[in-house]
Amino acid sequence: MPVPRAKQPPPRIQIERTEPIVDCARYPAKRTVGEAVTVDADIFRDGHEVLRAVVRHRGPSDKAWQESPMAPVDADTGGNRWRGLFGIDRCGTWQYTVEAWSDPFASWRDELRRKVDAGQEDLNGELSEGVLHLEAAAARAKGADKKTLAAAAETVANDVDWRVRVSCALDPEVAAAADRCADRRDSTVAGPFEIDADRERARFGAWYELFPRSWGGLRGVTDQIPRLAEFGFDVVYLPPIHPIGEKNRKGKNNALVAGADDPGSPWAIGHHAHGGHDAIHPELGTIEDFDRLTATAKEHGVDIALDFAIQCSADHPWLTEHPEWFNHRPDGTLKYAENPPKKYQDIYNVNWDCEDWQGLWQALLGIVLHWCEHGVRVFRVDNPHTKPLPFWEWLIKEVRAQHPDTVFLAEAFTKAAMMRTLAKLGFNQSYTYFTWKTSRHELIEYVVELATSGMQEYYRPNFFANTPDILHESLVHGGPPAFHSRLVLASTLSPSYGIYSGYEHFENVPVREGSEEYLDSEKYELKQRSLDGPLLPVVQKLNRARRAHPALQFLPNVWFMDAGNESLLAYAKRTGDDIVLVVVNLDPHWAQEGTVTIPAHLGLPPAFAVHDLLADDSFDWRIGPNYVRLEAGGAHVLELA
């Protein structure tokens, strides 16, 4: 008969369904500094032994592991789910493991207690076993614990009164001393698993997108930083600020032929005389102006986000310095960018399969690090789904090794699997399909997926209400009420959201019916912008509410409620004791009414007062149905009074 070949018996403890992990630990889960990582696992073994478990964890560059205790989540029902937690106090890659072991002394104590409770008195055999456990524990212990356990062993072994012996064996202080020197000979370890820790901005922030050339260049943007901060914006996102090519320059409304005064698209990066991705368009200012901008932003708690678009105009210096980095047709001509039927005659994509791919990767890394040296810690990445995934995994890791507080936002509107994978491999935030989710059913289905499907462990959505490329038909046909309701939805459903300048002015004229392109798009012409849009006071109120309420700073804490009307979307968000209730009228044309049902599981009292942060009004609400009437596009954002 064959015999087992292992020198030691295989472990009997099972650790399963450890969370949080992503794709069987292929990728790290994500958290932000200041958060606690809650670790869950199924822990069990054969028999009736008492089990112990800990979460072992260590931060970036730490050599020593620290431990946090785990306890059964469902101890009262005899379940196997255990939970522990540990805190994140700095950016970088954290590791954790789950370790579980059998506790012989605790198992013996549990058996002894049950026999005593059952009235049994002949316990000499059991107590003799306890002496061995106590002596073994004393041999492992140190200091006061060693003395406590040795004394207990003496009492249990020699006292003439069995009641005293039992009482000593079951003494809580003796048990605590034994717990501190546990026998882990049969321990089982699951892991290590990784947590990617970011600063708070990766999870929470209000973005404002603007074209510097419409604000007086970099100096003009610098002048606006205090007011943007006053309105509650955390990130000011700039489309490419680099020199713009002249060859094949686009004109007004994407015309193929530019006029003499047309500035061209900022995404047509590079000019033979002024430089490429590491240069600034001379009409916007100098590198010194840019340094003043990032310094001023930092003083006001604002991040400057820079666009990172890997594409080149026909005038980019790389076309002459590194022609091998670009795609050539058989006739020798360069192939400009296309996404049929769309054509981008003013830009060329790089050739990721060129022989000097390593040189190309290094050059692109150098660009990002260059701007990091000038104070940029947030990058909005243009179309990352059209570039190799291994490149992004490598680049983000290299950048964060030097600047661990850097945040990358993926602008990828593509297949769900690609969007999810970009987030898994390192992107800290991601654009979403929120812009196209307009009905109650669509919004609930999409947010529930983001918040509860497992994506919440790695995918951080940014709900941009509009972009220079996306003017949704709901805004075109819904007018100011639609702008209002979409703003409330974006800012209260998602911890991160953004608007592109013009939104606060209700700009909603498409270049043609059915198009999502703006008429007279700012991508191809200069505008005169100013911070005086009629929607800005509402923006300010919402951003103040977001900062005041932790409930609005997280994603998975959302609970949708019945409102008795398909045009009303009602939801609660709760973090700890902080609760915010939101009701939005999705109809931009008509007032709507309904009854919002507050569920008992939110933990609110039977009757409670709420204060509307938008209208500065108060109401008396209760568990169960509450009547609501909202004007077209109107909303309640309610805090507990």
Q: Name the residues annotated as catalytic.
A: 382, 411
Residue 13 identity (one-letter amino acid):
I
In whole angstroms, what is the distance from residue 560 CA to residue 581 CA? 10
334: nearest Cα among 317, 321, 351? 351
Give the chain's end-to-end CA distance (angstroms, integer). 76
Report CA-CA distances (Å) from 585 to 62, 463, 486: 51, 18, 10
In whole angstroms, what is the distance from residue 596 CA to residue 607 CA? 14
551: nearest Cα among 479, 468, 491? 491
- Across the strands, what pairs with 238? 306
Per-residue DSSP letters for 81-101? EEEEEEE--SSEEEEEEEEEE
Strand segments (E) across 374-433: 378-382, 407-411, 429-431
In whole angstroms, what is the distance from residue 641 CA to residue 638 CA? 9
Residue 228 identity (one-letter amino acid):
L
Four-CA torsion 505, 509, 510, 516, nearest 10 degrees:
40
What interhelical angle do 162-169 and 143-158 show, nearest 10?
150
Judge whether 131 and 153 are in contact, CB under 8 Å: yes
Report CA-CA distances (Å) from 293 to 214, 224, 628: 16, 10, 45
